[in-house]
Amino acid sequence: MNILEIKNLHKSYGKIKALNGVSFSIPQGSVYGILGPNGSGKTTLLSIILNVLNADSGEYFWMGKQPTADLRKGIGSLLETPNFYHYLSAVSNLQVVQSISGRGNKNDIDTVLEQVKLTERKNSKFSTYSLGMKQRLAIASALLGNPKVIVLDEPTNGLDPVGIAEIRELIKLLSTKGHTIIMASHLLDEVEKVCTHVAILKTGNLITNGTVEDVLVDEDVVEIAAENNEALFNIIQHFDGLKSIITTSETLQLHFVKGSSNTTSINEFCFKNNIVLKYLSMKRKRLEEKFFELTGN
């Protein structure tokens, strides 16, 4: 089942087209990363599915149903900046969230504050919190009542490296328990470490989407090196199935059609031609590399 289906969403702010017919689906149990440069439409998209913004046209469905406030109650969300009552403490703010959403009980408030390491400051007013603490409270709010679907917009914003690592581990843990997590982020490294699926937006258009594997890998790249790379280059050109060779300062990158490379065959071929390889590795494209490639940066 798809947790969320988005169909042909359009949204403009005056002349600026923020979303241009975006459509994709989010499978249950996935950790879905929504990536894009600044102004690509990530937050606009999340705002629409959380009913903060009205789409100009298009529709979306939560769990196959028309979106309603009651459905939203079961979704833990963090959108843009943390929005809480500045004169209330963390506990009191979460009581308001609980009262509206119906998620969790009194004990759950202490539990989520413990999860985000805010227990010591739980009775301090929100106005006295640092940015990182505010972000942690927002995450706690999203986790309150253990919702099955969690939407996070830049969850690591304002957090220190320890905090970032903690959130990463938390997301992984939630994922193993079957939660569906929808996450917009700029930190490609983090997305690559935790996400199972990604969608990449650019100026309101969906560039690509799918599993991380599908998005990252569009061809096989095998990296090899020998004592004499020039001789290796002359030999390897004749290897069957090779699309292209890119020479770096220390290695040769061999590009094949996705799924067609065979490192054993490459090794045997070089050996038969009297070249002993000192390095052989199947290279996986980094998400960052793919992101820049797709967004034209």
Partner 1 sequence: MFSILKTEWLKIKKYPAFWWILGITILSYPGINALFYFIHKDMTRSKDMAAQIATAVFGSPFTFPEVFKTVAFSSSLFMIIPAILIIMLICNEYTYKTNRQNIIDGWSRNNFLLGKFFSVLIVATITAGLAIIVSFAIGIINKNSETVVQPYNQFKYMIYFYLQTLSQLSFAFLLGLLLRRAFITLGVFIFYSVIVENILEGLGRKYTNDLGRFLFLEISNRLTPLPTFMSKFGEERYNLLASQFNQHIWLTLLYTLIFWLLSLWIIKKRDL
- Tell me the closest approach of the beta carbon of residue 70 to partner 1, in angstroms: 7
Please, which residue, 145 or 163, has the CB nearer to partner 1? 145
Please, which residue, 35 or 75, has the CB nearer to partner 1? 75
Spatial separation of the C-alpha atoms in residues 162 and 178, rounded to whole Å: 25
Spatial separation of the C-alpha atoms in residues 237 and 36, rounded to whole Å: 37
- Tell me the closest approach of the beta carbon of residue 126 to partner 1, in angstroms: 9
Please, which residue, 141 or 261, has the CB nearer to partner 1? 141
Please, which residue, 19 or 222, has the CB nearer to partner 1? 19
Residues within the interface to partner 1 (CB under 8 A): 47, 50-54, 68-70, 72-74, 77, 79, 81, 83-88, 92, 95-97, 99-102, 141
Nearby residues of 216 by Cβ (< 8 Å), 6 or more positions away: 284, 285, 286, 287, 290
Spatial separation of the C-alpha atoms in residues 184 and 78, rounded to whole Å: 10
- Tell me the closest approach of the beta carbon of residue 50 to partner 1, in angstroms: 5
Report whether 222 contacts 281 (CB < 8 A).
yes
- Tell me the closest approach of the beta carbon of residue 31 to partner 1, in angstroms: 20
Q: What is the DSSP letter of 249?
A: S
- Tell me the closest approach of the beta carbon of residue 92 to partner 1, in angstroms: 6
Report whether 28 contacts 5 (CB < 8 A).
no
Give the number of other Cβ atoms within 10 Å of residue 159's Cβ.
19
